[in-house]
Structure 1
């Protein structure tokens, strides 16, 4: 019995020991996530501080590192921890442990003991924030950012973040150079000459290293820019509202200066203002007639010489010399060769004529010219100031306006027909095109005296062009003629460009202007009246490939029989050239504009 009890007790004792052995023991060295993150943070802070201390003074920067780790599964029974041998290096990015002897160089902070990172955790992200003093330059900031990423072995794809911020550090002497530290191989920013550095940083009494001073400078420049912008807008508004008479005065002064340069000084002293004005006006009349009607002038000269060869030749030579010797080049194709050679010989060998005699010769020659009764209209000399332009080709017109101001070109183009002015405008630079059109719209405000001076200037200039009708009374009408000769697809955009520069002028133009795509907006009665003068053939061509609203509008005002005919022709898919379609559309637009103009 006792043996049985002893055996049971012995068996229970062994069973109890075996159960206790199966209970896992608590590990006091269980890794903690927060402490592991602290290890990484302290390690990278010390590494970065040591690296920055090699280049910059302590106390002018701060380093803060935030580490994030995550737990990984590791078979602890296979973990082997060995103490690493001492290292003789300064920095080595990505070390698994803090090397022995690696201590913080910053005062007031102790170094930490060598502690291995636990392999149960893995570094997931680093957030490095470095504060630097405002005395650091932008190049310093960029350098620190790059260096921190390299030293810490930051991985942007892993999510590591490196930021460098500039703050005002207390007890920092700005504007002076950084002093040397105890390390012999330290590189410093700045120069040893304090006086030179101070002069550079305090130019015009402003401390350029002080952010407050810089803010004041920027604010002052901003206020100055606003003031200049307001002044420019006010000046532009005043110039736009200014009466166009100022431009006329400018043209008058320009022409006066041109005339004064062409006249000898003795003539200016000899002539009074009224006689001088009459002399110039008569010369302008003869030159205009010579350029516009060279056959008439040539016939007059030949008649003078045929009536009395010697006396007539002398009068012809003196008249041409007194007006402008260059007109002989214009008359050459219309003169007999013998007469031309005689006049040219006389012009080459003639002596200087006093200005008073020149005036008499010009007056006498003008009387003979008027006696021919070339024009039946009274005041023909005023109404045909620019008639000489009809003798010029389009290419010669481009040569004629070369080097002229926008005002002079605008007056000249206003005298041309719509197709010719449109051709010249399209050849001009795009930046000059709209300003010239805007000035054409103000032609009505220019007095006839300015027309005479401008005509005189261009007629003199036309003499240099070999083989060189009307005065436009309304610049808006000239612009409308110009628009009519533009392609239909470009007319609306052209008017929009004018509206961007001069809204009032655009309103005047739109009063009589209708784009082809705007036909649906035209009053039915006006459209019906306008299309009464159109042909069915024009309507078919104009509506070929036109937009449906345009087709519907035009067909709605036509008789039913004609409507059916037009629809039938359009369904037959006839082929029309682009020129035919363009011409038909322009004819319809001209008819609409004619009705609008007749009704005011």
Structure 2
């Protein structure tokens, strides 16, 4: 029984189509077939080995895609002399989406046509078993007939027409989640971050590279950056944000204020609602984020520089 796509020659696939949809319909869809061609296909149908159901489905999928693509293709478009040149026009995400669902033999043939960097990007997205199978196939492509390689190129070219545009691809990561958290209330921000830390520690660690808190400002910001930040915030907001902070932290902030502001500073006395303190701290965090957007510093570098290695 034939079970592998590359084992089928072009006439074999046409014979499969004939057997499934019938000769009359196939002849109408496959324009340009002569009577001699039809007779050859009939003969091939009789002598062919049995084809697996899964492979028949794959052949029919390719056939239907090719019929549809012919309607979309401009008649004036010149035929390419390089079967795999369409791959050069695909973004990396598109190439990965195209190949990761294919059989290892198909992936291997396609990867043999691209640079080593692009090969690694595709391979890195495969599970270990599939990756090993693809590597094995890459080492034995000399056994694949030229017609089989051309058939694979044709199949992938057709499927590539139905890929989303590159701009439609996005993969949210820690930075995206950190941006979302930064738009929440301090209470929601804390609750969601705690939940993520419990359920996905790796994601939580990635988020923390981009997630700025008031404590980060107090402990990680260099003095020149801290000075610029505090000079951009109202003194009342600073005083309220520092409510409950240690004296060392208060002194650090005051030491980076102009003398005039230092003289005007008055600590907030008495009990204050935690929500008000949180809002004041968020005001300062938002000001810091705006500075980052303006290109004044890189948050990842600032927070990363605070990590110590023993």
Q: Same fold (TM over 0.5)?
A: no
TM (norm. structure 2) is: 0.37
Structure number with higher strand proportion: 1
TM (norm. structure 1) is: 0.22
Structure number with higher helix proportion: 2
